[in-house]
């Protein structure tokens, strides 16, 4: 009986240590997610500035320039933002499911080590992979790395369209997967200035628009990477919250079992004492 009680006490200590680890991981994830969300406003502002600049550049282009993307035949490129680390639930699986209809025939650029592992388990071999940023300061670098890889694939393969598939944290809680077009740009969504003087430039309108397009793509990749970073940490925070609930349930069960064993041990000791006292009285 004493040995079984010691085993239960040891289990309780181990579970409490696990609870401390889970609490720490939840706190770290919450801090990272909060910092990522705080920086999204700056990225959005930067994207709006570039969008306005594209609108000004379009005012310098010929009036008969095509605005809407033409429907060309060729390959689809997919930029998938998956999880870098574990303990994030089905984060990567949901991203892969959102691209399941096209992923087998597309040129896939996958970001996230854990996501790459999940993809390979499904029999998918991405064209290009890279680890996801694990802190916000690395987001600009990973966006540049993705852009370079993307332009390299466009130059070497017949990619005519590129979509981004990324998880986002919903304002009311939860996470959803968003898929949207990155390239070619739909120039109709960039507002051109009305009754304004044309901007003074040192570049030809074509070169200016080309450089601004590259800047806009970079801004979109930064935004997607930051959303992926924040939502992955939100997913990890929710997974750790669920784990803590399960740990609490387990601790309650173990504590009840500990009390039962202690009571049984006390009862046994009382019975043994009573039996000893009775035997002593009989000897007298």
More confidently predicted of 192 and 115: 115
Domain count within the chain: 1
Query: Does 101 have pLDDT greater than 80?
Result: yes
The closest alpha carbon to 225, from 28, 34, 43, belongs to: 43
User: Which pLDDT tens digit goes with each residue over 149-169?
Assistant: 999 999 898 899 999 999 999
| 78 in any annotated domain | yes
CATH number, position 224:
3.40.1380.10
The whole domain housing 36 covers: 26-192+203-239
The pLDDT, as a whole number, for residue 269 is 82
| 82 in any annotated domain | yes
| 212 in any annotated domain | yes
What sign does the dihedral 215-221-225-228 (CA atoms) show? positive
The pairing of beta strand 159-169 with beta strand 128-130: unpaired
The pLDDT, as a whole number, for residue 49 is 94
The pLDDT, as a whole number, for residue 1 is 44
Query: What is the rounded distance in angstroms from the CA atom of residue 175 to the CA atom of residue 181?
Result: 20
Query: What is the rounded distance in angstroms from the CA atom of residue 163 to the CA atom of residue 80?
Result: 9
| 254 in any annotated domain | no
Query: Does 224 have pLDDT greater than 60?
Result: yes
Query: What is the rounded distance in angstroms from the CA atom of residue 111 to the CA atom of residue 79?
Result: 8
Q: Give me the chain's average pLDDT, please.
A: 90
Task: Give residue for tokens 């909060």.
Answer: 34
User: Which pLDDT tens digit goes with each residue over 236-279?
Assistant: 999 999 999 999 999 999 998 888 888 888 888 888 787 777 77
Task: Give percent of the chain with pLDDT exceeding 70.
Answer: 94
Fill in the DSSP letter of residue 69.
P
Angle between helices 205-283 and 2-58 (to 10 degrees): 170
User: Which pLDDT tens digit goes with each residue over 170-222?
Assistant: 988 899 999 999 999 988 888 878 766 777 788 888 899 999 999 999 999 99
| 245 in any annotated domain | no
| 138 in any annotated domain | yes
| 171 in any annotated domain | yes
Which ranges constitute the DSSP H helices of the chain? 2-58, 91-98, 113-121, 139-156, 205-283
CB-hemisphere CA count at 13 Å for 190?
22
Kindly tell me the burial class for residue 279, based on how many C-beta atoms sit within 10 Å of its own C-beta (0-12, 13-18, 19 or more).
exposed
Query: What is the rounded distance in angstroms from the CA atom of residue 3 to the CA atom of residue 79?
Result: 57
Q: At 6, is the pLDDT very low, low, confident or very high (cuts 50, 70, 90)?
A: confident
The pLDDT, as a whole number, for residue 279 is 74
Task: Note the pTM of the prediction, 2 decimals.
Answer: 0.86
The pLDDT, as a whole number, for residue 107 is 96
> What average pLDDT does the segment 66-92 reach?
84
Which ranges constitute the DSSP H helices of 59-190? 91-98, 113-121, 139-156
The pLDDT, as a whole number, for residue 226 is 97
| 275 in any annotated domain | no
The pLDDT, as a whole number, for residue 157 is 86
Asked if 68 contacts 188 with a C-beta cutoff of 8 angstroms, the reply is yes
The pLDDT, as a whole number, for residue 249 is 93
Q: Which two tokens stand for residue 31?
A: 């801090």
The closest alpha carbon to 133, from 152, 117, 146, 147, belongs to: 146
């Amino acid at each position: 009986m004493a040995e079984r009680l010691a085993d239960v006490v040891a289990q309780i200590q181990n579970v409490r240590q696990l609870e401390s680890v889970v609490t720490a991981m939840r706190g770290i994830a919450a801090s990272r997610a909060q910092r990522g969300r705080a920086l999204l406003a700056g990225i959005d502002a930067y994207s709006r500035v570039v969008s306005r600049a594209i609108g000004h550049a379009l005012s310098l282009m010929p009036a008969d320039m095509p605005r809407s993307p033409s429907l060309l035949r060729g390959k689809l490129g997919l930029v998938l933002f998956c999880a870098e680390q574990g303990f994030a639930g089905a984060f990567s699986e949901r991203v892969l499911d959102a691209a399941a209809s096209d992923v087998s025939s597309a040129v896939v650029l996958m970001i996230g080590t854990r996501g790459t592992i999940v993809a390979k388990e499904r029999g998918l071999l991405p064209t290009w992979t890279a680890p996801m940023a694990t802190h916000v300061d690395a987001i600009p670098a990973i966006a540049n790395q993705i852009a370079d890889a993307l332009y390299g694939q466009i130059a070497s393969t017949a990619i005519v369209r590129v979509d981004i598939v990324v998880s986002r944290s919903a304002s009311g809680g939860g996470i959803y997967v968003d898929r949207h077009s990155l390239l070619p740009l739909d120039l109709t969504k960039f507002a051109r200035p009305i009754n304004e003087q044309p901007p003074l430039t040192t570049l030809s309108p074509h070169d200016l628009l080309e450089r601004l397009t590259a800047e806009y793509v970079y801004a979109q990749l930064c935004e997607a990477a930051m959303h992926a970073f924040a939502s992955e940490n939100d997913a990890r925070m929710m997974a750790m919250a669920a784990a803590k609930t399960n740990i609490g349930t387990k601790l309650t069960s173990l504590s009840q079992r500990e009390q039962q064993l202690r009571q049984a041990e006390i009862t046994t000791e009382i019975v043994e004492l009573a039996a000893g006292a009775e035997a002593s009285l009989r000897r007298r």
